[in-house]
Chain A
Amino acid sequence: MNKSELMKTANEIRKGAITGVYSAKSGHPGGSLSAADIYSYLFFEELNIDPKDPKKPDRDRFVLSKGHAAPGYYAALANRGYFPVEDLKTLRHIGSYLQGHPDMKHIPGVDMSTGSLGQGVSAAVGMAISAKLSGDDYRVYTLLGDGEIQEGQVWEAAMLAAHRKLDNLVVIVDNNGLQIDGKIDDVNSPYPIDKKFEAFRFHVINVDGHDFDALKQAFDEARTVKGQPTAIIAKTIKGKGVSFMEDQASWHGVAPNDEQYKLAMEELEKAGEALCQK
């Protein structure tokens, strides 16, 4: 996909995420919107995947370690063709397969059930080890929150990933700077994130998580790294794309009301139209 298409797709992902959260009257819009461009790049450009064959053995794996960003993840999968976009409206509804957090048993395209922070990255390390053991050349990607990396398990996983020289593993940190209780550096600062991963013997790339040229460069670079895993620290804006949600911790885990939903969708529609005129 070219850059313009990726931007349009990211806008569709944002619309899907907002629609899902609005329909559920609960969920996590902030971290879904901050990751929307990353989702767009991964699912429409980077990953070797096939929605017609969601479990093909040689597919690249993706683990959403920050599982609460499911609304954006599901919107990406739906737009990629794993299930109908219309189904996003059933998010978190009783009886729906679109669980509040990713459920690999019921959602096509989901490689690992996640939601309890710090755990997805370990599973991603297990998948990468498996590929090394079998000589398979699929790659493994996992997206973490910057608050999530306060979990000790993340660093247990990072230590093992570097120790086993997992150059088939890419850890992406969605560095939107906010967590439920406020700014990450007020709550319990994980900074410097890049230096921490460097100290854990990762190849580290700092990138603007909303810039598709930069994302392309980062993921291309990750493919050339040998003998160590890569960490892409993506600087992002929480709530990106909906003006009143941007950079607000309060939009971490609440749904928009009717009026806010209307406003948000109008903004996103407008952004989409502007992208089409480009």
Chain B
Amino acid sequence: MSEVKKIATRESYGNALVEIGKEHEDLVVLDADLAGATKTAIFQKVFPERHIDCGIAEGNMMGVAAGLATTGKVPFASSFAMFAAGRAFEQIRNSIGYPHLNVKIGATHAGISVGEDGATHQCNEDIALMRMIPGMVIINPADDVEARAAVKAAYEYVGPVYMRFGRLAIPVFNDESTYKFELGKGVVLREGSDVAIFATGLEVYESMQAAEMLAADGINAKVINIHTIKPLDEELVVASAKECKKVVTVEEHSIIGGLGSAVCDTLCANYPTPVLKIGVNDVYGESGPAVQLVKKYGLDAESIYKKVKAFLA
């Protein structure tokens, strides 16, 4: 088999904005001096008049996006996850969430796979922060195909959406010709009945690989891609838990407040099941090459394989 193609989902974001922008004049892109990194520069090149660089002022950018949305524009406010969900949390909460405005937040450089920039820029808290905002939709796509489809779905949905993208180039495993994105619906990628693994973002591919390793040991894992963390596909979560009796969640995010917590919230109310949460264990990240960090923090396929095995033993 030839080498799998790798693309960072931030690239997908920039490319999708151009595609949608061509069809829809109401789409406006905002950035906070990171256009080259968030890849909104791709949009800026094609539609300079609809690209508003707000400078290094993320709080203001969110408010400006809110104002644009009140007039019928569909703004995509873009920055690193740390400065979007982190620094501008209260602006998102009060100026976008509370009035339920049609603002899309494109948050790139999420998680520890930011790499060399280190802990100050590695946001492992954004899903937790955004989950607490009533009415906020959260999408964390797993590859380029899904990410571009997600941006389109976010445009079509009316209301606030938080999209989480990565800096690291990751394998493209979805087939564009058959792929369909359904907001709020989990995707079963592999059937199995020994354990249900719910993964999101770049951890989906890692979990698939871990499932193959488990299969070699005779363990059949069901792998589910949760691209929409809110609203969560509760039906699928509960059904999978009933089927497998044991649940694992995998995310490049703190084990507090993210996918793992969302799954646990659902299960403890509907079908209490033992859950192993794999994620960043309530610690800060550090500098280093992204792939090495993912391994060091136990988020690569092999680490997942070992943790799941121990969990099932």
Contact = CB atoms under 8 A, between A and B. Distances in A.
Nearest to B99: A113
A111 B68 CA distance: 12
A127 B67 contact: yes
Nearest to A104: B99
A128 B49 CA distance: 15
B292 interface: no
Given A125-B64, A126-B64, A160-B64, A119 B49 contact: no
Given A105-B100, A115-B94, A125 B63 contact: yes
Contact of A127 (B49, B54, B60, B71): B71
B233 to A, nearest CB: 28
Contacts of B61: 122
Nearest to B88: A153
B98 A130 contact: no
A144 interface: no
Contacts of B95: 112-113, 116, 119, 122-123
Measured as residues with beta carbon below 8 angstroms from the partner, the interface class of chain A is: 35 or more
Main SS at interface, chain B: helix
B28 interface: yes
B60 A160 contact: yes
Contact of A122 (B55, B66, B72, B100): B66
Nearest to A123: B67
A227 B188 CA distance: 56
A157 interface: yes
A159 interface: yes
Interface in B46-89: 49-50, 52, 54-55, 57, 59-73, 75
Nearest to A116: B94
A130 B101 CA distance: 15
Given A112-B99, A119-B94, A122-B64, A133 B28 contact: yes
A113 B96 CA distance: 9
Contact of A133 (B49, B57, B98): B49
A75 to B, nearest CB: 22
Interface residues of B, number: 30
A160 B55 CA distance: 8
Given A113-B98, A156-B59, A122 B91 contact: yes
Given A113-B99, A153-B59, A156-B57, A126 B67 contact: yes
B90 interface: yes
A111 B28 contact: no
B34 to A, nearest CB: 16
A130 B50 CA distance: 10
B245 to A, nearest CB: 44
B60 A112 contact: no
Contacts of A126: 63-71, 75
B71 A123 contact: no
A104 B67 contact: no
A79 B91 CA distance: 31
B68 A129 contact: yes
A61 B99 CA distance: 16
B63 A111 contact: no
B57 A159 contact: yes
B101 to A, nearest CB: 9
B71 A125 contact: no
B63 A153 contact: yes
A157 B63 contact: yes
Contacts of A116: 90, 94-95
B50 A133 contact: yes
Contacts of B70: 61, 104, 111-112, 123, 126-127
Interface in A86-126: 103-105, 111-113, 115-116, 118-126
A131 interface: yes
Contacts of A160: 54-55, 57, 60, 64
A133 to B, nearest CB: 7
Contacts of A111: 70
Contacts of B60: 122, 125, 153, 156-157, 160
B63 A133 contact: no
Interface of B: 28, 49-50, 52, 54-55, 57, 59-73, 75, 90-91, 94-95, 98-100
Top 10 A-B residue pairs of the complex, sorted by shortest distance between their CB atoms: A126-B67, A122-B63, A156-B60, A123-B67, A156-B57, A126-B64, A130-B71, A113-B99, A126-B68, A127-B67
28 contacts: A57-B72, A103-B99, A112-B66, A112-B67, A112-B95, A113-B98, A115-B94, A116-B90, A116-B94, A116-B95, A121-B63, A122-B66, A122-B67, A123-B64, A124-B67, A125-B63, A126-B65, A126-B71, A129-B67, A129-B68, A133-B28, A134-B71, A156-B55, A160-B54, A160-B55, A160-B60, A160-B64, A163-B55
Interface of A: 57, 61, 63, 103-105, 111-113, 115-116, 118-131, 133-134, 152-153, 156-157, 159-160, 163-164
Given A122-B66, A156-B55, A163-B55, 4 more contacts: A103-B98, A125-B64, A126-B65, A129-B64
